[in-house]
Amino acid sequence: MNLLADLRNYQYSLSVVEGLRIHMEVGHSYIDIPKHSFSQVQKVVNASNEHVISIGARFSAEADSHLVCYQGDEGNYQTQASSKPGKTRTVTGASFVVFNGALKASSGFIAKSSIVEDGLMVQIPPDTMEALRGALREQTDFHIPCGRSDGGELRENVSVRWVDLSPAFNTGRTSGVDGSPLDGVRSVRVQQDTAFESDGRSIRCTEVFYRPRGPARGADAALSACSAFQKEMALAAEVEDFLSEDFLSEDFLSVEDFLSVEDFLSEDFLSEDFLSEDFLSVEYQAGSGGRLLPQRYMNELDGALIPVIHGGGASVPQTAMDMEFLLYITHAI
């Protein structure tokens, strides 16, 4: 994957499009993009350079096998297909696709597709890359025939398709506060430079779940606006002292378990004659394993969370929603 490598940090990264799936069959590969992820695709296209478009995909439960890349004893990376037990391998999933638009006419190929690590590499000429960019921006399907230009080799086909797929966010997950299902609830991973540590234990916020109470079309804007607020809330929850011996010995929470804090942000509207006023009413709950924490710990949380919620800063979300913060308590090493 030298094409994507950051040689200064010896790593590469891929932007993942929510719900995108890659299915490979004999003679044909399909990149299915959910129509509801159009805005995410535009960000990927706009951020890509002239010759390369790389997109990360989600795991496909519909495929009967999936590409897996592992490192051998000698340090070399190898690729294999991991299949479902008892299933015949007909559809194989992949983790990403890279379109490389630097294929020269002298190569003798109109396009080439190949497996690279646990993803799909598609090499195409510059004019095909430009046409692909246009199709992604216009949300139209795009077909790429692969093979030798003289037709002497069996051709493969790569199809980029815009499909109607229902969002499958967090399927099977439940809330740590009250055990309610989180199927279809969007979430973002939280990356923080440090974790709060005390008495040999650490607490860190790892994920935030969002349930907008308004129209679904405003979800992307709401998540973007909540970025600063979620960091402030996560930090406030971390620095509150949950790490005492009596707390961890409770039946409610154990070391290496998780703690969830859920905020309910709702907007109410008052009107009188021609005057109107918007105000924000807020409540929160905290729990672990589907049970609420005892009241004495909630009193301690008030001192940390209420100032952030009512701080009056621009970071407080202006969109009605529920937010759940997932925090893990572990032994500090």
**pLDDT average, residue stretch 118-133:** 94
Q: Where are the domains of the chain?
A: 21-163, 186-331
**pLDDT average, residue stretch 68-72:** 83
* pLDDT tops 60 at residue 244: no
Q: What is the pLDDT of residues 135-152, one digit of tens each?
A: 999 999 999 999 888 876
In this prediction, residue 284 carries a pLDDT of 76
Find out if CATH 3.30.500.40 is the number for domain 186-331. yes
Confidence tier at 89 by pLDDT (50, 70, 90): confident
The residue with tokens 């897996």 is: 68
In this prediction, residue 232 carries a pLDDT of 65
| Range ranked top by mean pLDDT from 20-29, 160-169, 187-196 | 20-29
CA distances from 168 to 172, 190, 217, 262, 316 (A): 10, 20, 16, 22, 28
- Asked whether the whole model's pTM tops 0.75, one would answer no
In this prediction, residue 278 carries a pLDDT of 41
- Summary mean pLDDT of the chain: 75
Percent of the chain with pLDDT over 90: 24
Phi/psi at 11 (5° precision): -160, 170
In this prediction, residue 217 carries a pLDDT of 45
In this prediction, residue 53 carries a pLDDT of 93
DSSP state string for 89-117: ---EE-SEEEEE----GGGSEEEEEEEET
Taking alpha carbons only, the member of 192, 209, 1 closest to residue 95 is 1
Confidence tier at 190 by pLDDT (50, 70, 90): confident
**The CATH fold of domain 21-163:** Gyrase A; domain 2 (3.30.1360)
**pLDDT average, residue stretch 173-193:** 78
Count of C-beta atoms within a 10 Å radius of residue 307 = 11
CA angle 24, 122, 106 (to 5 degrees): 135
Q: Which residues contact 253 (CB under 8 A, 6 or more apart)?
A: 242, 247, 259, 288, 289, 293, 329
In this prediction, residue 24 carries a pLDDT of 93
